[in-house]
Structure 1
Amino acid sequence: MTQPVGKEVKSSTKTKRVLHIFLKVIAAVVIAILLFIAIVYTVNKISGHSEQKRLEQYGQHVSVEGKQMNVSIQGQGEETVVILPGYGTAAPVLDFKPLISELIHYYKVVVIEPFGYGLSDQTQKERSIANIVGEIHVALQSLHIDRYILMGHSISGLYSLGYVNQYPDEVRAFIGLDSSVPSLSEQKVDSSVTEQIKWFRNLGFARLQLKLSADPYEGLPYDEHTKEQLNIMIHKNMYNTTQLNEAVSMYSNFKAAEQLTFPPNLPVLFFVQANHPVTDQWIPEHEKQIAESVHGEMVLLDAGHYLYRSHPKEISKKIREFTDGIK
């Protein structure tokens, strides 16, 4: 028995009405998403422009391969300590301020801001260990600094391994601040992933991400002005192209560093977090690095990865004891 024509017409009309409503909802959602993206993009552009006006210069520039690398030199001590930052540190000179404030009473403290960090230029050059080490060395040579204690946080432990083997006559000792070890590699990052991150950054969502994140300097010994400048620098440098290229090179850098060890006659001091949140091999692998050292020490701290932010006094005191012992 066939359905009456009137019912067919009503059913078709109802279907069209539902489809029309559905399409209007989809259109509204798309418009809302585009409007949200436009707002995030606009706010990021306006905020970035305003922040650049409030950004204060610090340190000094040295020419490295035609680009400008920012370096800070503080303190008048006879012994020189050269500090290298961990991956992604937006403004190393400002970030290390609590530790620098303790060290400058006893040492000349030199903080290097590699390309892509702090106030230094960016570079398209491959972020291999060899290139990074070479650039840092050129900067130090330009400053006539040729005998020093090298200190590195996190990934700079990897670069420092290359450095002390490349320039053994210049480095008096190495101090690791929860420094990376080659045997505990980072995951491989493909360049296609970094292209997506660039879109995320360029549209302004990195700023939104930071807005929704906890303040990494909350409760730490940083004054409000320094925290404001750090915040500006984080927005300036987060996910910049040089640092993204460094992330792509990180896996191969870990593999290359597997062949490297600290020279046995090089004094080595490690400050290591006592309870690593991911691996139980953090302490054992650091112990292996100093097993053959004639003067190797490890200090465990009840702290997070950025232990120099929270324990500057303890670290400074131990460094003085350590360097007194190797004179």
Structure 2
Amino acid sequence: MKKVGKVLLIVAGSLIGLIVLFFGSVYVVNCISEARESKKIEPYGKLMEVGEKKMNVEITGTGSETVVLLPGFLTGSPVIDFTQLTTELAKKYQVVVIEPFGYGLSESTEKERTLEAISTEIHQVLGKLKINRYTLMGHSISGIYTLDYINRYPDEVTAFVGIDSSVPNQPGGEDNQGDSLKLLGDSGLYRLLTKVTPEMIAYPEVDAHLKEQFRMISLKNMGNSSNVSESKNMKANFEAAKRLSYPTDFPVLFILAKASENDTVGWISLHEEMLSGLTEGKMVVLEGEHYLHHTKSPEIAKLYEEFMTSQSTDELE
């Protein structure tokens, strides 16, 4: 029995040693890879001071009307993510892609990611750019942030376009991952998981070079202080948004992905509720997945142009 116990102790010790060696190797590989990749990430856009940090913004197109694009939660590089949509919209409009703190090439911040903080920072950026009339077009979680923003600055926002955007009452909307994001990023496990399952990163339909840039930026940002705080504040932000609504005469266009109805119970009806009572509300459902702008950018741009043209026609009448 003593021999058996000894053998079990040796086996247990060996297993623990292997586990420690495995996680240690994953951590070291991640540190080395991050150091190498930091030198390969190519700058784009323009860094602007917001408070004590710098936020990255890219502007394309020269149209007289401005569209401000805002990303979904944990989008590695919003500028690259919106490449196809930006290309389409820039044919007619000035397009501003804002990378919030912790996203893309923007710096991370220790400031809590509350609705007020996020809205105020976006407003400061647009103010510095001297842009005071614009459409907000947001993907996913930006539906919550823009709802707050529109209520804070109603005289500046001309319309909102939600690309499969979140709504306050959606089931599971308050779920968050908190410190697990930091663990995934710091330990190197996220890098390993994306190697085993590449589809964990929602790549846009761009060339191989931009996809590699997107991958490196996504890995760099995972678990930074901003997205951990955003995750922890998600429940409170959804709760706060439940007290908000769009102004009755405010133009809202929801462009939803048909597949999301299978992922979130009542997805379409919840958006219909948000439009209820609005004089200028419209919803369109397109075939596709949640990252609708990766596959339907021409359709989104066309729907937006038609929607805004109809608003102008109504005003003339």
Q: Does 1:114 align with 2:100?
A: yes
User: Cα 1:103–1:90, aligned 2, differ >3 Å: closer, same or farther?
Assistant: same
| 1:138 alignment counterpart | 124
| 2:21 alignment counterpart | 35
| 2:298 alignment counterpart | 313
Q: Does 1:157 align with 2:143?
A: yes
User: Cα 1:195–1:317, aligned 2, differ >3 Å: closer, same or farther?
Assistant: closer
| 1:247 alignment counterpart | 231
Shift of 1:195: 3.3
Q: Distance in 1 between matches of 2:151 and 2:174?
A: 25
C-alpha contact 1:189 1:248 (8 A) present in aligned 2: no
Gap regions ≥5 residues in structure 2 = 313-317
| 1:22 alignment counterpart | 8
Map residues 184-223 of structure 1 onto 2, 5 A cutoff. 184-186=170-172, 188=174, 194-215=178-199, 216=201, 221-223=205-207
Q: Distance in 2 between matches of 1:130 and 1:310?
A: 32
Q: Does 1:282 align with 2:278?
A: no
**From 223, 245, 266, the counterpart of 2:250:** 266
User: Cα 1:239–1:18, aligned 2, differ >3 Å: closer, same or farther?
Assistant: same
C-alpha contact 2:174 2:238 (8 A) present in aligned 1: no
Secondary structure of the corresponding residue to residue 54 of structure 1: coil
Shift of 1:212: 1.6
**From 62, 86, 93, the counterpart of 1:76:** 62
User: Cα 1:258–1:188, aligned 2, differ >3 Å: closer, same or farther?
Assistant: closer
| 1:6 alignment counterpart | none
User: Cα 1:217–1:133, aligned 2, differ >3 Å: closer, same or farther?
Assistant: closer
**From 286, 289, 308, the counterpart of 1:323:** 308
- Deviation string for 1:7-31 (max 9, x for gaps)? xxxxxxxx12111211111111111
Q: Does 1:97 align with 2:83?
A: yes
Q: Distance in 2 between matches of 1:109 and 1:320?
A: 13
**From 228, 248, 272, the counterpart of 2:212:** 228
| 2:315 alignment counterpart | none
Higher deviation after alignment, 235-244 or 83-92: 235-244
Q: Distance in 2 between matches of 1:186 and 1:156?
A: 16
Q: Distance in 2 between matches of 1:169 and 1:19?
A: 76
User: Cα 1:196–1:281, aligned 2, differ >3 Å: closer, same or farther?
Assistant: closer
Higher deviation after alignment, 30-39 or 180-189: 180-189
Tell me the TM-score normalised to structure 1 length: 0.91
| 1:8 alignment counterpart | none
| 1:178 alignment counterpart | 164
Q: Distance in 2 between matches of 1:89 and 1:172?
A: 25
Q: What amino acid maps onto 1:112 in structure 2?
A: I
Shift of 1:188: 4.9
**What percent of counterpart residues are identical?**
44
Larger radius of gyration: 1
Shift of 1:241: 1.9
Shift of 1:196: 4.5
Q: Distance in 1 between matches of 2:286 and 2:173?
A: 26
Shift of 1:185: 4.8
Q: What amino acid maps onto 2:229 in structure 1?
A: N
Tell me the TM-score normalised to structure 2 length: 0.94
Number of residue pairs the alignment of both structures matches = 310
| 1:296 alignment counterpart | 281
Gap regions ≥5 residues in structure 1 = 1-14
The CA RMSD over aligned residues, in Å, is 1.6
